[in-house]
Chains A and B, each alone.
Chain A
Amino acid sequence: MYIYNDIDQSIVDARVRQFADQTDRYLSGRLSEDEYKPLRLQNGVYVERHSPLLRIAIPYGLLSSRQLRMLAQIGRVYDRNFGHFTTRQNIQFNWVRLEDVPNILGDLATVQMHAIQTSGSCIRNVTTDHLAGVAHDERVDPRPLAELMRQWSTLNPEFAFLPRKFKVAFNGAVEDRAASEVHDLAFEVYCDEAGEVRLIVKVGGGQGRTPRVAPVIKTGLHWRDMLSYTEAVLRTYNRWGRRDNIYKSRIKILVDALGAERFSAEVEQEFTHLVGGPATLPAGELDRMTAFFAPPAYVTTPSWDQEEARHRLADPRFNAWVKRNVARHKRDNYGAVTISLKSPGIAPGDATSDQMDAIADLADRYSFGQIRVSHHQNLVLADVARSDLWALYQALEALKLGEPNVGLATDVICCPGGDYCALANAKSIPVAAAVQDALAPKAQDIGTLAIKMSGCINACGHHHVGHIGILGVDKKDEEWYQILIGGRTDTRTALGQIIGKAIPRDEVAPTVSRLTDFYLNQRQPGEIFVDAVERLGKAAFLAAAFPSEPAPASPDLKLKENV
């Protein structure tokens, strides 16, 4: 993984001092609430429903065991012994005191971590595939480019006060595990025939109020020009993006208004002035950066482990775990193990400090001391020898982290919702729990099914791209839920469509359950839920979801909007 040099460290240390000074001025009344707010947001500090919250960046989802132990310690010292992994490869602490944040940032800096630009109208934490570097379907490991993007965007002076937030994602594989096409800026990395790394650039994707799949605006971009081109995109957005209405200020609205073609021409015009300029990356830079992400010292063990086979036959739960939680690895004697943070009774994405410490130990023992955070709110040990799978599984079971449900109906993505979030229309954690309860008995049978739940239209829980999406809406101050089906982000991106009217909380789990029953009755061999939706059509599922009278009529069909 990337290791800080003295320059990186000096920048992060200076950032801690700067924020401590800003916080002092706020506490003494010299900096107003309104003026402190964007400064604290750009250091990851929100003030949520019941407490301040600190969001810490885990750039492109990569953590060392030492860093994870520091997160565990922060949970213990400053929070309530747990943290919440988000859908953007960040971790949030929900119960911090604002005055403590400078000290927390100081602690993080000692392990080369920070909370820079995890919120605010700026370039946010860069994300990518949690299987980068080990995925069997990978064309190019995107992490070296993601790190270059992280550095370039960190404290970028020109783009600190954009019209609105700006999220960048990289994908270098056939399957887009980073959901890159619903980002403001997405890079598809590939190698041309000459072996040069190049990029396809997509701009203006996103979820929330105006969901969009990002259109392609540039192909064949050489990696050396990545930052110059990004500068052109951002300058175009910074100058011409709308600032008169916060609901219309994301870049997707500008791309919509101009059309992808005109937007692309505008960027190209700017780019002609920048190409070959000072933001051009030096020729050796990609190699230099790639060296940080070199493969670990893999051992040579047989790819077909007799013991693994024996235990799989004897223990059906272990068998299910290997099938669901162990992804195929570039090397066939290794597997990429997902540790599900979706056990029954636990809010999706939450991990206790003790669990984080224990996972750090397991990473040291079985996966070269590294941990990945996936946007599905799970943790990944990406380099586990197949001969260690049984031992690792047993250790995880003992920690209650052996849930064999990755990619299944119970592996629900879920935002914090009304239990924490000050913007929520509705609670999401108890709804996710009810759905998990209802579907647990048949989850293995249903197979791949991505259920994603957001407590409001902001879509932090990615409901637009769930095979089944659940959205909390507010009707006359009551919590209602809208169901969507047909969204996906895998080898292509599709946005889900709303089915039926909003329903009350108690109806969500039974409705989702009816959708899955209909699928189980109708499916063809090997067909997953979302493919069945595409084959059979939305109307068939609508009828199945609301068999007689569609759920109790809700008072007002118009969704109440908020940020």
Chain B
Amino acid sequence: MSILLKLHDTGAVGVVTLPEGTFRPAPPANPIPDMAIVNAGQGDVRSLIRPNVKQPESPSVTAWEAGSFVRLDDWLARDVADVETGPRALVLMPTEDPLSLAGHLDGLDLIAVEFAKFNDGRGYSIATLLRSRLGFKGEIRAVGDVLVDQLFAMVRCGINSFALRGDQREEDARRALATFPAVYQWGADNRDFALAAKRQPDRAAA
């Protein structure tokens, strides 16, 4: 089955289980690393470097709980008369511009942000702009390579639901959401942050 975590405004975390394959499936199992080899270094790695990086092509999801996702172009071109029966969710790819949704958010319940690869960080800026620039109040869902170690940052960028990749465990995800007790900088989640210097905390010399 696929696990969807939902972070509610109250801070509560809800879990929705969806049919297997709704979200990106688990990759093949990993071998246990041989630390004797790792600790002996990896020698000359020059020939292993592949400068070209494959770019994402299509979204990892097609449907959500109440229908299908549409793509950005189709959403912008939709017939607005269709508002009652038409689509209510769209999926944004890393290369797409969220600001083109300005003035087009009505009727949209859910925006899925595609993390085509876990280390493609464009989704963080896309979510931040949806929340803080466009003021989108609906659900922003991370889809694709959604791994527990990214969840804390995703929340901070205004993402509030998480389509966990097939191998990610719910208990790890819950733990990851509480990784840091405080943060330094402003984020689209509008959490209190240390650089606002609201109070003078205790200090001890190094």
Q: Which A residues form the contact surface with B (CB < 8 A)?
A: 1, 3-8, 10-11, 14-15, 18, 21-22, 25-33, 35, 38-39, 47-52, 64, 66-67, 97-99, 111-112, 121, 148, 151-152, 154-162, 227, 235, 238-239, 243-247, 273, 277-279, 281-282, 284-285, 288, 422-425, 474, 562-563
Contacts and interface: CB of A to CB of B under 8 A. Distances in A.
Given A30-B30, A239-B122, A247 B51 contact: yes
A4 B120 contact: no
A160 B202 contact: no
A288 B197 contact: yes
Nearest to A21: B175
B35 A98 contact: yes
A47 B180 contact: no
B120 A243 contact: yes
A105 to B, nearest CB: 15
A47 B38 contact: yes
23 contacts: A4-B204, A10-B180, A10-B182, A11-B184, A15-B180, A18-B180, A29-B32, A47-B42, A48-B41, A51-B39, A148-B195, A152-B195, A156-B185, A157-B124, A157-B187, A158-B125, A158-B156, A159-B121, A161-B118, A243-B122, A244-B53, A423-B46, A424-B44
Query: Nearest 6 A-B pairs (CB), nearest first?
Result: A161-B121, A157-B156, A157-B153, A5-B201, A50-B41, A29-B32
A151 B186 contact: no
Contacts of A8: 194
Given A22-B149, A159-B121, A238-B125, A49 B42 contact: yes
B19 interface: no
Contacts of A39: 149
B119 A121 contact: yes
B206 A111 contact: yes
A4 B203 contact: yes
A3 B180 contact: no
Interface residues of B, number: 63
A1 to B, nearest CB: 7
B90 to A, nearest CB: 18
B143 to A, nearest CB: 16
A33 B175 CA distance: 21
A4 B194 CA distance: 12
A95 to B, nearest CB: 9
A15 B182 CA distance: 11
Interface string B41-57: 11111100101110100
A157 B185 CA distance: 9
B179 A14 contact: yes
B162 to A, nearest CB: 14
Nearest to B29: A29
Contacts of B149: 22, 31, 35, 39
B64 interface: no
Nearest to B194: A7
Contacts of B195: 148, 151-152, 227, 279, 281, 285
B159 to A, nearest CB: 10
B103 interface: no
B206 A279 contact: no
B124 A161 contact: yes
A14 B180 contact: yes
Nearest to B27: A32
Contacts of A161: 118-121, 124
B118 A14 contact: no
B167 to A, nearest CB: 8
A100 B196 CA distance: 36
A11 B194 CA distance: 11
Contact of B46 (A22, A67, A238, A562): A562
B97 to A, nearest CB: 8
Nearest to B193: A278
Interface in B12-46: 27, 29-33, 35, 38-46
A155 B157 CA distance: 12
B187 to A, nearest CB: 5
A38 B119 CA distance: 8
A52 B35 CA distance: 11
A97 B39 contact: yes
Given A35-B118, A563-B51, 16 more contacts: A6-B202, A27-B32, A28-B32, A35-B147, A51-B39, A51-B41, A151-B184, A157-B124, A157-B152, A157-B153, A159-B121, A162-B121, A238-B125, A246-B53, A278-B186, A563-B46
B55 A243 contact: yes
A35 B149 CA distance: 9
Contacts of A423: 45-46, 49
A385 B152 CA distance: 49
Nearest to A1: B206
B157 A157 contact: yes
B128 interface: yes
B77 interface: no
Contacts of B29: 29
B182 to A, nearest CB: 5
Contacts of A35: 118, 147, 149
B186 A279 contact: yes
A172 B140 CA distance: 42
A1 B55 CA distance: 45
A297 B123 CA distance: 50
A4 B203 CA distance: 6
A154 B183 CA distance: 9
Contacts of B46: 422-423, 425, 474, 562-563
A148 B195 CA distance: 8
A33 B186 contact: no
Interface string B162-184: 00000000001001000111111
A112 B202 CA distance: 14
Contacts of B120: 161, 243
Nearest to A2: B206
B194 A245 contact: no
B43 A158 contact: no
B204 A29 contact: no
A474 to B, nearest CB: 8
Nearest to A121: B119
B81 interface: no
Contacts of B172: 25
Given A112-B206, A152-B195, A99 B45 contact: no
A246 B195 CA distance: 33
A155 to B, nearest CB: 7
A148 B184 CA distance: 10
A422 B196 contact: no
A244 B55 contact: yes
B52 A244 contact: yes
Contacts of A112: 206
